[in-house]
């Protein structure tokens, strides 16, 4: 067919006349719009306009009315523009179009969508209804992996197996499952997939999606109703009854009558016959509840009592019923059932008894005991734990669900999570915890976390117990302290023996040797004078040792008999300085005293202060072989500071910490270079502290030592 841009037909072939059912030459010269269906006219015009603009071939299907008014013709045209003319090459697709339209309508009505899959090129086609079923826009990019995610996670593995068997082995499938659409709607679908194979290899897959949500919901409702019916029948077997109030006759199911020993030859039995089977202890209260039930508002009835069975045993029953009333509101009929709850009552009593026993065990075993579920919530707790939780957090774990980590002491929290998680893994864990009680005392607890398993060996709870080991820890600490003191005493004894054996033996040996020499005839006057001098020095040294030991042992007595007077600190320090000038000069040391111009005064016991200062000055000179010793007095507002600095051997870092310990000195043992008992500095520290002062020392090995004495001006 050839026509111009206005749609007027210029030329047609014979086939065109045949399919349009027109006489020869009848269509030529007519407008194509005379034959187009109304819905296609606008589409045709837009197509012609696009063809004129782009000059590219366009393929479209249009519907036409033929000369036979009841016939519709669908032609698929390939349209080409050339030299102001449009050339249209058409194929009659009427039958295919009708089938497509019918299939589309059927898909919409049945909510069924078609799909196919090309596994060779991994291409998927979904019909519009497939997209609508998933709440997707038609044409949305979608593959089989994407489609799998619309299924519940529990179904994905099964659906994937269907798909793998279809692609790998050509096994068709037809299954029903649930999906969650793009909009979050739950739908039930039926999915069919069939494989097309060539030489035993799947080359194509056809399938369909059907929305069967309504049918499936109806089936589920039927299942639920059937299940409810079965449950109701089971309940009725416990004892269906129909009580006619006016005649006071009651109908009971046959099985129930047989169980209770009621007559089987009649359907209804008098209420009195049934009443006789109620346990005598329950009868009065049961009848009172019966009267109240019949008179109260509403329609429901509930009672409970024990009934005597044919075997002579009593069993517990709960009675549920629905009352029918007349216009005045009086109950005229009641239908219901009696439910055997005997085992339930026994179980309740057993549980209550076991709970009492367990509570007794919990309250009388460890210091604190708690049973936690796997979420860490308290199931059972001993009375002391409950008391503490109520006091500190205002929560009763027996009535309010609470996690143990939220109501535990702060110092428990650092380790709880780890131990609890280890117990959940099946490990029994022990841990020692130190805590402060509300009274301020220290308490040591040994915690133990034990996993509790059920019959299937699954951990359902964790038992947490805290055992008070305070006495045990106290004993352990006491043993450790005693051991340390024992070692200290042993070291002290060694130092005392070493020091005193040396300090006493050496001057005594000197005294005895010199005495022997003098008595046995040393005739040289010069040598005799030197021996007399050495004898005097040995005597002084021995006396100093004994005096220091005496002072050290009499500290408490001295402390009670202090003689406080106000003294000029410059004068007191200078006196001690002068006393050791000869000692310093004998070692060729630079011996310096720096006094404060303000002449500070302080209230002290001058004797013990001088003794303390003398010991320090003597030590500084003794341990300094070259260099200088500087003594300085400094006045401050409320205190006087006296410093003694030397350039001697210094004190090692380890010994600096124990320099004021008695009987300890930097050089000890048989190879020591310097003499002394080690009492002097300890004694000085005690004396300065008695006067309310402080003494500090700083030193570096081989660089000298500095002592700083701080004395308050007033006590």
Residue 572 has pLDDT above 90, yes or no: yes
Architecture of domain 556-712: 2-Layer Sandwich (3.30)
Q: Which residues fall within 8 angstroms of residue 317, CB to CB, at 6 or more apart? A: 238, 239, 304, 305, 306, 307, 338, 339, 340, 341, 342
At 490, is the pLDDT very low, low, confident or very high (cuts 50, 70, 90)?
low
What is the predicted pLDDT for the residue at 510?
Answer: 62
Fold classification of 2-98 is Beta-Lactamase (3.30.450)
Give the DSSP H/E element, type plus range, for residue 226. helix 213-237
Sorted by where each begins, the domain ranges of the chain are: 2-98, 111-217, 238-340, 346-468, 556-712
> Which own/partner pairs from 325-333 qualify as long-range (CB within 8 Å, at least 24 positions apart)?
325/299, 331/245, 331/294, 332/244, 332/245, 332/246, 333/242, 333/243, 333/244, 333/245
What is the predicted pLDDT for the residue at 493?
Answer: 52
pTM of the prediction? 0.31
Helices (H), 340-443: 342-363, 383-393, 410-424
What is the predicted pLDDT for the residue at 537?
Answer: 62
Could you tell me the sign of the dihedral formed by the alpha carbons of 161, 166, 170, 176, in that order? positive
* Residue 194 in tokens: 């069939």
What is the predicted pLDDT for the residue at 579?
Answer: 92
Residue 242 has pLDDT above 60, yes or no: yes
Q: Which of 325-329, 338-342, 601-605 has the highest mean pLDDT?
A: 601-605
Q: Go through 22-37 and write b for each residue having 16 or more CB atoms within 10 A of its CB, e for each that does not.
A: beeeebbeeebeebbe
What is the predicted pLDDT for the residue at 108?
Answer: 61
How far apart CA 495 and CA 669 sit, in angstroms, is 8
- Which one, of 619, 676, 667, 622, lies nearest residue 504 by Cα? 676
Q: Where are the beta strands (DSSP E) in 408-488?
A: 429-436, 442-453, 459-468
* Residue 4 in tokens: 């111009």
The answer to whether 44 and 33 are in contact (CB under 8 A) is: yes
Residue whose tokens read 């011996």 = 591
Residue-wise pLDDT for 669-687, tens only, equals: 333 444 444 567 888 898 8
Mean pLDDT of the region 598-617: 91
For the domain spanning 111-217, the CATH number is 3.30.450.20
Terminal CA-to-CA distance of the chain, rounded, Å?
Answer: 132
At 663, is the pLDDT very low, low, confident or very high (cuts 50, 70, 90)?
very low
In terms of phi and psi (left: phi > 0; alpha: psi -120 to 50; beta: otherwise), the region of 199 is left
Residue-wise pLDDT for 203-219, tens only, equals: 888 888 888 888 888 77
The DSSP line for 523-557 is: --HHHHHHHHHHHHHHHHHHHHHHHHHHHHHTHHH
Mean pLDDT of the region 169-180: 89
- Which one, of 104, 100, 133, 117, lies nearest residue 209 by Cα? 133
Residue-wise pLDDT for 66-91, tens only, equals: 765 456 788 889 988 888 888 999 88
What is the predicted pLDDT for the residue at 469?
Answer: 81
Mean pLDDT of the region 232-252: 71
Could you tell me the sign of the dihedral formed by the alpha carbons of 226, 232, 238, 242, in that order? negative
Torsion, Cα of 9, 14, 16, 22 (10° steps): 80
Q: Which residues fall within 8 angstroms of residue 587, CB to CB, at 6 or more apart? A: 621, 624, 625
What is the predicted pLDDT for the residue at 620?
Answer: 93
How far apart CA 90 and CA 477 sit, in angstroms, is 108
- Phi and psi at 179, nearest 5°, equal -130, 160
What is the predicted pLDDT for the residue at 671?
Answer: 36
* Residue 559 in tokens: 């402390």
Residue 99 has pLDDT above 80, yes or no: no
* Residue 678 in tokens: 């080690």
At 279, is the pLDDT very low, low, confident or very high (cuts 50, 70, 90)?
very high
What is the predicted pLDDT for the residue at 673?
Answer: 45
**Are domains 2-98 and 556-712 of this chain identical in fold?**
no
3-state secondary structure string across 576-633: HHHHCHHHHHHCCCEEEEECCCCCCEEEECHHHHHHHHHHHHHHHHHCCCCCEEEEEE
Neighbours of 209 (CB within 10 A): 26
More confident residue, 516 or 248: 248
Average pLDDT in the chain = 80
Residue 7 has pLDDT above 60, yes or no: yes
How far apart CA 623 and CA 620 sit, in angstroms, is 5
Residue-wise pLDDT for 315-336, tens only, equals: 888 888 889 888 888 888 888 8
The answer to whether 545 and 500 are in contact (CB under 8 A) is: yes
Residue 666 has pLDDT above 50, yes or no: no
What is the predicted pLDDT for the residue at 669?
Answer: 36
Q: Tell me what percent of the residues of the chain surpass a pLDDT of 90.
A: 17
More confident residue, 261 or 603: 603
More confident residue, 531 or 580: 580
Reduce the DSSP state of residue 492 to 3 states and report it.
Answer: helix
* Residue 395 in tokens: 């929560």
Residue 50 has pLDDT above 90, yes or no: no
Helices (H), 111-178: 128-133, 144-148, 153-169
Residue-wise pLDDT for 297-321, tens only, equals: 888 899 999 988 878 888 888 888 8
Measured in residues, the chain has a length of 715
Reduce the DSSP state of residue 241 to 3 states and report it.
Answer: strand
Q: Which class in CATH covers the domain with range 238-340?
A: alpha beta
Residue 553 has pLDDT above 70, yes or no: no
What is the predicted pLDDT for the residue at 634?
Answer: 95
What is the predicted pLDDT for the residue at 366?
Answer: 57
Comparing 272-281, 462-471, 499-508, 656-665, the range with the smallest average pLDDT is 499-508
Comparing 114-118, 128-132, 227-231, the range with the smallest average pLDDT is 227-231
- Which one, of 250, 333, 253, lies nearest residue 299 by Cα? 333
What is the predicted pLDDT for the residue at 282?
Answer: 92
* Residue 60 in tokens: 């479209």
DSSP 563: -
Mean pLDDT of the region 569-588: 93
Say whether domain 346-468 belongs to CATH 3.30.450.20: yes
How far apart CA 444 and CA 467 sit, in angstroms, is 8
More confident residue, 68 or 459: 459
- Which one, of 236, 243, 244, 188, lies nearest residue 216 by Cα? 188
Residue 548 has pLDDT above 80, yes or no: no
More confident residue, 696 or 251: 696
At 636, is the pLDDT very low, low, confident or very high (cuts 50, 70, 90)?
very high
Q: Tell me what percent of the residues of the chain surpass a pLDDT of 70.
A: 79
β 72-82/85-92 pair status: antiparallel
The DSSP line for 256-314 is: HHHHHT--SS-SEEEHHHHHTTB-HHHHHHHHHHHHHHHHSSSSEEEEEEEEE-TTS-E
The DSSP line for 192-204 is: EEEEEEETTEEEE
What is the predicted pLDDT for the residue at 602?
Answer: 93
* Residue 345 in tokens: 């009552």
Mean pLDDT of the region 392-398: 86
- Which one, of 2, 6, 202, 214, lies nearest residue 117 by Cα? 202
Give the DSSP H/E element, type plus range, for residue 501. helix 470-519
Residue 233 has pLDDT above 50, yes or no: no
How far apart CA 374 and CA 495 sit, in angstroms, is 62
- Which one, of 104, 100, 98, 76, lies nearest residue 89 by Cα? 76
How far apart CA 458 and CA 280 sit, in angstroms, is 46
Q: Which of 103-117, 374-388, 465-479 has the highest mean pLDDT?
A: 374-388
């Amino acid at each position: 067919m050839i026509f111009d841009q206005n749609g007027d037909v210029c030329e047609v072939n014979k086939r065109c006349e045949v399919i349009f059912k027109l006489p020869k030459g009848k269509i030529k010269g007519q407008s194509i719009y005379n034959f187009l269906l109304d819905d296609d006219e606008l589409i045709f015009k837009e197509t012609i306009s696009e063809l004129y603009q782009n000059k590219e071939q366009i393929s479209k299907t249009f519907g036409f009315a033929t000369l036979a008014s009841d016939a519709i013709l669908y032609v698929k045209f390939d349209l080409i523009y050339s030299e102001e003319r449009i050339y249209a090459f058409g194929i009659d697709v009427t039958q295919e179009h009708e089938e497509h339209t019918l299939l589309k309508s059927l898909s919409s009505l049945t909510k069924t969508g078609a799909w196919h899959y090309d596994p060779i090129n991994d291409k998927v086609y979904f019909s519009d209804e497939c997209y609508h079923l998933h709440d997707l826009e038609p044409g949305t990019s979608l593959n089989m992996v994407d489609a799998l995610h619309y299924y519940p996670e529990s179904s994905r593995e099964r659906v994937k197996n269907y798909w793998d068997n279809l692609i790998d082995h050509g096994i068709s499938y037809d299954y029903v499952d649930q999906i969650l659409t793009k909009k979050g709607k739950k739908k039930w679908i039926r999915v069919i997939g069939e494989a097309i194979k060539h030489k035993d290899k799947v080359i194509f897959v056809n399938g369909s999606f059907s929305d069967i949500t309504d049918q499936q919901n109806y089936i589920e409702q039927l299942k639920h109703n059937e299940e409810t019916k079965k449950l109701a029948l089971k309940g009725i077997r416990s004892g269906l009854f129909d009580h006619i109030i006016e005649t006071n006759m009651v109908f009971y199911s046959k099985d129930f009558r047989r169980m209770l020993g009621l007559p089987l030859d009649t359907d209804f039995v008098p209420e009195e016959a049934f009443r006789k089977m109620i346990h005598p202890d329950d009868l009065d209260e049961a009848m009172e509840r019966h009267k109240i039930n019949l008179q109260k508002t509403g329609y429901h009835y509930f009672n409970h009592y024990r009934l005597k069975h044919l075997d002579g045993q009593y069993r517990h029953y709960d009675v549920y019923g629905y009352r029918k009333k007349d216009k005045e509101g009086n109950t005229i009929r009641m239908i219901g059932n009696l439910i055997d709850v005997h085992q339930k009552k026994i179980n309740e009593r057993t549980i209550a008894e076991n709970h009492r026993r367990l509570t007794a065990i919990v309250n009388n075993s460890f210091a604190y005991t708690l049973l936690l579920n796997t979420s860490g919530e308290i199931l059972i707790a001993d009375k002391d734990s409950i008391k503490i939780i109520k006091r500190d957090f205002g929560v009763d774990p027996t009535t309010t669900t609470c996690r143990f980590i939220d109501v535990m002491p702060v110092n428990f929290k650092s380790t709880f999570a780890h131990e609890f998680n280890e117990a959940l893994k099946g490990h029994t864990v022990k841990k020692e915890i130190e805590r402060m009680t509300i009274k301020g005392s220290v308490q040591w607890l040994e915690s133990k976390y034990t996993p509790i398993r059920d019959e299937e060996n699954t951990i359902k709870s964790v038992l947490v117990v805290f055992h008070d080991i305070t006495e045990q820890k106290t004993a352990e600490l006491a043993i450790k302290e005693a051991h340390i003191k024992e070692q200290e005493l042993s070291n002290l004894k060694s130092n005392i023996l070493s020091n005193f054996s040396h300090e006493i033996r050496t001057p005594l040996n000197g005294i005895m040797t010199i005495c022997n020499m003098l008595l046995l005839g040393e005739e040289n006057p010069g040598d005799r004078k030197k021996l007399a001098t050495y004898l005097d020095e040995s005597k002084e040294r021995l006396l100093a040792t004994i005096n220091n030991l005496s002072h050290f042992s009499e500290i408490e007595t001295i402390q009670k008999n202090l003689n406080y007077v106000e003294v000029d600190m410059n004068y007191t320090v200078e006196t001690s300085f002068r006393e050791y000038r000869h000692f310093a000069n004998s070692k060729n040391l630079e011996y310096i005293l720096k006094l404060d111009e303000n002449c500070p005064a302080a209230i002290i016991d001058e004797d013990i202060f001088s003794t303390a200062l003398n010991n320090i000055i003597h030590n500084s000179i003794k341990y300094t072989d070259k260099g200088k010793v500087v003594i300085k007095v400094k006045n401050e507002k409320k205190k006087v500071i006296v410093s003694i600095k030397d350039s001697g051997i210094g004190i090692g870092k380890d010994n600096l910490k124990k320099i004021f310990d008695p009987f300890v000195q930097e050089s000890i043992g048989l190879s020591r270079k310097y003499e002394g008992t080690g009492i002097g500095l300890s004694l000085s520290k005690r004396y300065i502290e008695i006067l309310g002062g402080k003494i500090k020392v700083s030193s570096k090995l081989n660089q000298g030592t500095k002592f700083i004495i701080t004395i308050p001006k007033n006590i």
